Structure 1
Amino acid sequence: MVDMNLEVNIIPVSDVDRSKQFYADLGWRFDEDAAPADGVRIVQFTPPGSGCSVTFGQGITAARTGSLQGALIVSDIEEAHNELVARGVEASDVWHGAPFPAEVRLKGPDPERTSYGSFFSFADPDGNTWMVQEVTTRLPGRI
């Protein structure tokens, strides 16, 4: 089978400049801000260490603002949480156990720091939600 690399996720936003500032404040790499046609603006950022970028702007998606539910993988959940909070992000507390539904979440990181077992979440100004998950050892077949 031909490799299929996920390289861009499109985020629906209501205020392009506000979103641009938010993702810059996260410390994500700014890649582009282009207006290739009337009524079209494309802004792209890439999270540190990621092969996948996010794109938002004007005239690029009909998705409802705030409808994105994305996931980020980190090697240290507490370090990532502390870094985002220090950058002014309103993040949930760290939890472990199942990520869904919220009622089954257990407080704090996984006591054994099991890979795929600890999480927190945050949202951008439009309510697009990012779940952050700790992965220290990949399952077989995963990069």
Structure 2
Amino acid sequence: MKLKLEMIVLPVSDIDRAKAFYEKIGFRLDVDYTAGEDFRIVHFTPSGSECSIMFGEEMTPLAPGSLQGLYLIVDDIEEAHAELTGRGIEVSEIFHDAGGLFHGHEGGDVTHRRPGQQRLAGLHPERASYGSFLTFSDPDGNGWVIQEIKQRHPGR
């Protein structure tokens, strides 16, 4: 069986504010559909992605801003940092893990630190794939991680 991740439903408090943010960040607007006064969905796709995000009226029981660790992958994290800041998006500085690559997820921390991990400023020293990161949040606090991958692990 072949499975592909297609859609992630984001919990947001203000549909128009979220729509403006994801337009500003450069995601492609696929759908903004309203049916009556009580139903609206907005659907975006990040450039180069097959997986999309969607938000709208009462689409999820999750609290706005409760999704953390949503990954976007780029070939050049310095270019991504410059483009996002140029669009007026508040992003972290580029960082890497002192002990190697970030693994695991601890209590909703968008930096994905485990006990004993140390987040260091700057690119991974060897500029290794999977080694350099930056983070940002949407207006509700849903947390995104951008990770640089120049060469994927075999089988990916």
User: C-alpha separation between the residues in 1 aligned to 2:58 and 2:36?
Assistant: 9
Q: Considering only aligned residues, what root-mean-square deviation do their CA atoms show, in Å?
A: 1.4
Q: 2:129 aligned with 1:119, yes or no?
A: no
Q: Identity over aligned residues, as a percent?
A: 51
Structure 1 regions of 5+ residues with no counterpart? Answer: none
Match of 1:61, as an amino acid? Answer: T
Please report how far the alpha carbon of residue 112 of structure 1 lies from its aligned counterpart in structure 2 after TM superposition: 1.2
Q: Deviations over 1:50-92 (max 9, x none)?
A: 0111001112111111011211111101100110010001000
Please list, as runs of the form range in 1=range in 2, the aligned pairs for 1:25-44 lying within 5 A after superposition. Answer: 25-36=24-35, 39-44=38-43
User: C-alpha separation between the residues in 2 aligned to 1:80 and 1:37?
Assistant: 39
Please report how far the alpha carbon of residue 100 of structure 1 lies from its aligned counterpart in structure 2 after TM superposition: 2.9
Match of 1:122, as an amino acid? Answer: F
Please list, as runs of the form range in 1=range in 2, the aligned pairs for 1:47-62 lying within 5 A after superposition. Answer: 47-62=46-61
Please list, as runs of the form range in 1=range in 2, the aligned pairs for 1:84-103 lying within 5 A after superposition. Answer: 84-97=84-97, 98=102, 99-101=111-113
How many residue pairs get matched? 141
TM-score w.r.t. length of structure 2: 0.86
TM-score w.r.t. length of structure 1: 0.93
Q: 2:34 aligned with 1:22, yes or no?
A: no
Match of 1:59, as an amino acid? Answer: E
> What is aligned with 2:67?
68
Please report how far the alpha carbon of residue 37 of structure 1 lies from its aligned counterpart in structure 2 after TM superposition: 5.8
The answer to whether the 8 A contact 1:39-1:59 is kept is no
Please report how far the alpha carbon of residue 36 of structure 1 lies from its aligned counterpart in structure 2 after TM superposition: 3.9
The 3 A distance-change label for structure 1 pair 37 and 4 is farther
User: C-alpha separation between the residues in 2 aligned to 1:73 and 1:52?
Assistant: 12
The answer to whether the 8 A contact 1:43-1:57 is kept is yes
> What is aligned with 2:108?
none
User: C-alpha separation between the residues in 2 aligned to 1:100 and 1:27?
Assistant: 25
Q: Deviations over 1:27-61 (max 9, x none)?
A: 11000011246522110111110011100111211
